[in-house]
Structure 1
Amino acid sequence: MTDASPLAAPMAAAPRFDRRRLLVPLAVFAALALVPLVLPVDRYVLTLVTRAMIFAIAALSLDLILGYGAMISFGHAAFMGIGGYAVAILMFHDTDEALIAFPVAIGAGALFALVTGAISLKTRGVYFIMITLAFGQMAFFTATSLSAYGGDDGLRMVQRSLVAGTRLMRSDTSFYFIVLGLLVACYGLLRMIVGSRFGRVLRGAKENERRMRALGFDPFRYRLAAYVISGAICALSGALFANLGLFVAPAYMSWPRSGELIAMVVLGGTGSLSGAVIGAIGVILIEEWLAELTQHWKVIFGPLVVLVALFARGGIIRLIERRNRP
């Protein structure tokens, strides 16, 4: 008998995964692991690459909803700021344990995503972009009004968080490998999610929402779940970023930061988790290099983004895959 149930299509076997695609992320993670071992112990280099990996986590979270769910969020940096403020405020009140602060940060990001996503996902297209921008700006102005926690001036942290009572994160090298481990964990988690039935339904809703409804699935629920997961992971990156710089400010959740995250995903390649990692690391390193050349580096970076968008369709990761194709 032929299975004609509504679940048949999504439950069908996923397309065979090309193992060669794992070579790129494995090479990137291996190169990152070798940075503290190969290069001289330089705090500047460690801090720069650590910052790039933190933004890679944020870019991964955005790619889940942008690349696989076609949800263009211009308020995604709000989750990063919420995660950072959660850690900083807890430390302000003498709670510096990461095993407490980080889950609180992730939970705060997930809660904000649940509330705002339930409203935002009632809209589509440009309306979704504008409403996420509005929620992001609401979070920004809320942070500026927190005079008890620095307001516009931001909130400074006296030290990095403890890990089970130890000072593991106080060492720049140890903190580097913690961030790298979390980046790999987030990549692996999102890879499992997008390869699961949940991910196939999310991509199916992106391609043809009417067909998914006919199959018995409610795209709203799947999109909301993806939005919450994305917000939680981005809040984790914010908690790490606050520990990196020992500082958090409302500017961390401004709309230009959200635009920067979108640029990272687009340059790397939307709908490719490897592309999000490469795009984030590439943008941070290029920005740093151009900033050393001139204070007007954005005049150079802008056309560079345009050129990649025009001549590298699908982003850097697609360009790499085409070159490696036999």
Structure 2
Amino acid sequence: MNRVKFGAWMIPVLFILLAAVPFVAQAMGEPFYVTFFARVLVYALAACALNLVLGFAGLVSFGHAMFIGLGCYAVGILSYYGISDGWLQLLTAVAVCALVGLVVGTVCLRTSGIGFIMITLAFAQMFYFLMVSMTTFGGDDGLNINEPSNFGLFELSGSTEVYWAAWAVLLAVTIFLARLKKSPFGMVLQATHINPRRVNAFGYSVFRVQLAAYVMSGVLTGLAGLLLANLTAFASPSYMSWPVSGELIVMLVIGGLGTITGPIVGAIAFLVMEEFFKGLTQHWMLIMGPVIVVIALVSKNGFAWLIRRREEPAPAPSAAPAAAPKVAAASAGESQ
């Protein structure tokens, strides 16, 4: 079987294997694995969201954990006031993350390079210390969530329920990103990383395209935060801290930047290695760090070389703007 055919089957095979986890865990009598892999799926969702700006647009956001925290507190604060309606919590998380993403993105995208990195980090730390100072909602100790999100037909009342919700959302987001990458918008977004001047010359606004991607990424990360809050029954400022943002970036690097399944494989690899090394020694970071460095050095695309499918942008539909594929092709040509 050639690499292209293998890659074409990667998404369904990966999600079938993930769907088997609860059944295998039940057969083994190990419910821990359901909780653990539910966490893996939540962070895979956040990594996929970050991939939209880092992998596609080349924007190194070092403050994406801020959106995880906002999603968590959307559940936690509403639950604190006795509101457990999951749809209202979801709407709140989406609205807050979209608004914050719009404001933060508008400011950050006026800069580039190290400036963009530092400003995203600064905003994340600002929200971190804001939640630390809000003693009404637990401050630095965090906020217990007593009522799970209730969506009417189902509620996220346990690890298994959160697992299947995260699995379904991750599958939908993966399909969405696969289609987005080949769409005219996706090709223009990738071209903004390759050659932003050429994109502007074709009449597109680099700022607007990247801002739309940043807001979209923030909303998807907020969904991961909502699921994480239900999984842990807890909302904490630590979810917004910069090490969490760093972990998401590492997941992308070892999984494969700009690939569709790379963030998922990266999240699985990172969290499984973390759990394994924690079982060996309390100084597991001394082992984990060099292993990640070796992976990054040995394979430029992380684990993506094992799973990479032919993900070049497909020709745009006849009704789509003809300039979109021209931008990607011209930008790629100039960069060679």
Do these two structures clear the TM 0.5 threshold for a shared fold by scoring above it? yes
Q: What residue in structure 1 maps to residue 8 of structure 2?
A: 22
Q: What residue in structure 1 maps to residue 327 of structure 2?
A: none
Alignment of 1:241-260 (within 5 A): 241-260=228-247
Q: What residue in structure 1 maps to residue 41 of structure 2?
A: 53
Q: Is the 8 A contact 1:312 1:319 kept in 2?
A: no
Q: What residue in structure 2 maps to residue 228 of structure 1?
A: 215
Amino acid at match of 1:29: F
Alignment of 1:14-163 (within 5 A): 20-40=6-26, 41-163=29-151
Q: Is the 8 A contact 1:120 1:128 kept in 2?
A: yes
Mapped partners of 1:208, 1:271: distance in 2? 16
Q: Is the 8 A contact 2:158 2:231 kept in 1?
A: no
Q: What residue in structure 2 maps to residue 288 of structure 1?
A: 275
Mapped partners of 1:308, 1:185: distance in 2? 29
Gaps of 5+ in 1: 1-17
Offset of 1:267 from its aligned partner? 0.5
SS at match of 2:140: helix
Mapped partners of 1:27, 1:305: distance in 2? 26
Mapped partners of 1:61, 1:254: distance in 2? 17
SS at match of 2:204: coil
Mapped partners of 2:97, 2:32: distance in 1? 30
Gaps of 5+ in 2: 310-336
1:181-202 per-position Cα deviation (integer Å, ceiling 9, x unaligned): 0110111122222221100000
1:191–1:321 distance in 2 versus 1, CA, 3 Å: closer
SS at match of 1:168: coil
Amino acid at match of 2:190: R
Alignment of 1:286-325 (within 5 A): 286-321=273-308
Q: Which runs of 4+ in 1 moved over 3 A?
A: 319-322
Q: Is the 8 A contact 2:72 2:226 kept in 1?
A: yes
Mapped partners of 1:217, 1:19: distance in 2? 35
Mapped partners of 1:38, 1:45: distance in 2? 9
1:249-282 per-position Cα deviation (integer Å, ceiling 9, x unaligned): 1110000110000000111000012001100111
Say what the alpha-carbon RMSD is for the aligned residues. Answer: 1.4
SS at match of 2:254: helix
1:183-238 per-position Cα deviation (integer Å, ceiling 9, x unaligned): 10111122222221100000111111111111111110000000000000000000
Mapped partners of 1:48, 1:100: distance in 2? 27
Q: TM-score, normalised by structure 2?
A: 0.88
Q: Is the 8 A contact 1:61 1:230 kept in 2?
A: yes
Offset of 1:22 from its aligned partner? 3.0
1:19–1:210 distance in 2 versus 1, CA, 3 Å: farther
1:140-168 per-position Cα deviation (integer Å, ceiling 9, x unaligned): 0111011110001110001321111x553
Q: Is the 8 A contact 2:295 2:302 kept in 1?
A: yes
Offset of 1:20 from its aligned partner? 4.2
Offset of 1:19 from its aligned partner? 5.8
Larger deviation: 184-193 or 123-132?
A: 184-193
Amino acid at match of 2:148: R
- Number of residues paired by the alignment? 304
Amino acid at match of 1:276: P
Sequence identity (%)? 41
Q: Is the 8 A contact 2:49 2:221 kept in 1?
A: yes
Q: TM-score, normalised by structure 1?
A: 0.90
